[in-house]
Chains A and B, each alone.
Chain A
Amino acid sequence: MDVVAAQDGPTGRMPTPGSATAVAPAASEPLLRLRGISKHFGAVQALHGVDLDLPNAQVTALCGDNGAGKSVLTKCIAGIHAVDEGEIFWEGRQVHIASPKDSAALGIETVYQDLALADNLDIVQNMFLGRERLSRALLDEDSMERAAAETLASLHVTTVRSIRQPVATLSGGQRQAVAVAKAVMWNSKLVMLDEPTAALGVAQTRMVLDLILRLKDHGLAVMVISHNLNDVFEVADRVAVLRLGRMVAQDAISAFDRQSVVDFMTTGASSREVPGSGSSHERD
């Protein structure tokens, strides 16, 4: 079934092909299933036949060194880049994501590192930006404010003083929370977060990690791009490691420890055996 277009491995360092069976035993059919995704920009091959499963109600950490292709893969899912090759399955059905609108229509939301918030607008205005509710051609502020308050409350974001304060007055963690709340407002099923804890302090990081766990509790599939292995081991259920555009490992978090993730990120292989884990790492 999940046959991936054959790719030339980068010489002998690759582990022998592991079992290509379903990775997460909990989810028989993941929410999003990528098979053999390839993407090149001119002569640069950014992604080589990448497979990725993102199951419901689980946090998947996407790890990789700089230039591994994490951002490109995220942007392919978000519809910013069109894939050259490969198949995308959403809830078991094959889909084509050609634009950000397509991914939004499926229920995919992305929180980019720069958060894309307008500092001069308040929290409600930012959360509804581009999808304002109207009543008789005028903005329906009351209904938008109520919905925004409900979403923030459901995510236990209670540290903001007023939902009507400009985003410029928020702390880094609060801004991240607003960006995440903005992403989950639209019946989204998959939320992708790009380095959500970069540039945050300890307390703020804690708050964002709690937020990620809450998304999972709500049944959403979450993909977190992170360099920070502490964060990864704190919130992730699954880990996927990209290296030089190839998926070198993808499994439940229990199959990894910090050192093995680093090994996969840097060399594409790990000789470490994680105690208590029987699973083998999937490749490509």
Chain B
Amino acid sequence: MARIEGEPGGASAPVFAVAAEDALDLTAADVEVIPPAIVAQSLGQYLRAWTARLRGGDAGVLPVALALVAVVVVFTIVSKNHVFLSAGNLVNLFDQSAVFIVLAIGEGFVLLLGEIDLSIGYVAAIGGIVAAQLVQPSTNWPWWAAIIAALVVCGAIGGLQGLVITRLRIPAFIVTLAGYLMWFGVMIYMLGAAGGVGITSTLWAGQVGLYGIVYSYIDPLVAWIGLIAIVGVLGTIMWRRDAGRRRNGLVAPPMGLTMAKIALVAVAGIAVVAICNVNRGSYLPIVGVPWVVPLVLIVVGTWTILLERMQFGRHIYAVGGNPEAARRAGINVPRLRTICFVIGSMTAGVAGVIYCSTLGGMTTNINGGQLVLYAVAAAVIGGTSLSGGRGRAIHGLLGGLVIGAIYNGLYLLGLEIQWQLIITGLVLLAAVSVDSLSRK
């Protein structure tokens, strides 16, 4: 250890002058590269800066929003009786998307580092199988304990792969490719001769709970009250933060933008709850928001806070942007990378549990390879960069919805497997092209 004589700090502090805010004038050269939210002071200026930036090639979440609209319009037109846009199908679409969303968010932690994890499809499958097997009559665990066990197992897998990657300095691509094969094998081994495990029995509380993630619903009134509470709390936090920053002369979005954001959250929430509260049953009424919706929102919210409001998240972005700068800033880069692999795999475990619930069990037919490609595609379509340092949890949500909509739409059209594969490939290619073009 070092021995330092003399005390640090205590230097004569320079006399500070408070920065005078320069008058705002939007010259074309600047607005093309600087996010409009930090230079505009009114909603009008924001929109002008935003369009200029758009023309400069940096589109933010616009491509994914357009892609979502395009997919919805196309499938609504081509699907029989426009069934794509029916309440029943939209809820079904979200159930299917939930897996891609959560998996994409998990993959996002690794993509932020500029790495890739090819194994998370089968890691998710193992998470689903662990949860499913623990709620079988022989063990009969409660559903929540089974889920926690699944997450612990998945986290351990991620930690193992992360340690091999960071300590032995083997590229993540290779290690997780090996993991892809190994966990595929382990999955088949765990499912045994039966080749599957079901959770649809109503005799066992654990199975009812696990199956109920997707197939039990929140009472409509409770959903509305919950929505009001969420929008109220979120809106208050957003409003107070932005207003406080404006008051203190700090960089803040214009008031109109803050209001627009809160309104967007409210409208989206109302739309989701309203759609879910339409009766979508054929014989018996089926009404309400499936529990998977708040579950996905919790994943998005938790990881957003971690990434954007906490020191650890800030360090993830720094490592993704410039690992050497992060190292010199005193960040333990190998440790951080390992933790990101743990978080990625744990999040994949959540996706696996949701998948298990959606399917009513797990079988050896699960295609973890396709899942991981969908996850990468979803993250990249959402706006996450493959080269690291850029990406948010919300990107996984939006990208996952696009992928889910494509998946759902092709299924409605009754397209055969070869077309699904071809379209998956094209979608992945398109996503990576968007990423590559946006960096030019």
Q: Which residue numbers of A lie inside 8 Å of B, CB to CB?
A: 90-91, 93-102, 104-107, 112, 114, 116-121, 125-126, 129-132, 134, 137-139, 142, 145-146, 149-154, 158, 161-166, 168-169, 184, 187-189, 218-220
Contacts and interface: CB of A to CB of B under 8 A. Distances in A.
B331 interface: yes
A56 B338 CA distance: 43
B389 A119 contact: yes
Nearest to A160: B22
16 contacts: A90-B6, A98-B2, A107-B9, A116-B324, A119-B322, A120-B321, A130-B318, A138-B309, A146-B248, A151-B14, A153-B20, A154-B16, A158-B20, A158-B22, A162-B251, A187-B8
Interface string B23-37: 000000010011100
Closest 3 CB pairs of A and B: A130-B329, A118-B321, A120-B321
A134 B309 CA distance: 10
A105 B317 contact: no
A96 B3 CA distance: 6
Interface size range of chain B in the complex: 35 or more
A100 B17 CA distance: 31
B437 interface: no
B141 to A, nearest CB: 32
Contacts of A116: 322, 324-325, 328-329
A248 B328 CA distance: 31
Given A117-B322, A125-B314, A139-B311, 4 more contacts: A121-B318, A126-B325, A154-B15, A165-B34
A187 B325 CA distance: 20
A120 B323 CA distance: 12
Nearest to A96: B3
Contact of A161 (B8, B39, B328): B39
Given A105-B4, A129-B318, A130-B330, A165 B325 contact: no
Nearest to B324: A116
Given A132-B311, A139-B314, A95 B5 contact: yes
Nearest to B9: A187
A96 B2 contact: yes
B310 interface: yes
Given A100-B328, A118-B321, A120-B320, A154 B14 contact: yes
Given A146-B250, A153-B19, A162 B2 contact: no
A117 B325 contact: yes
A158 to B, nearest CB: 7
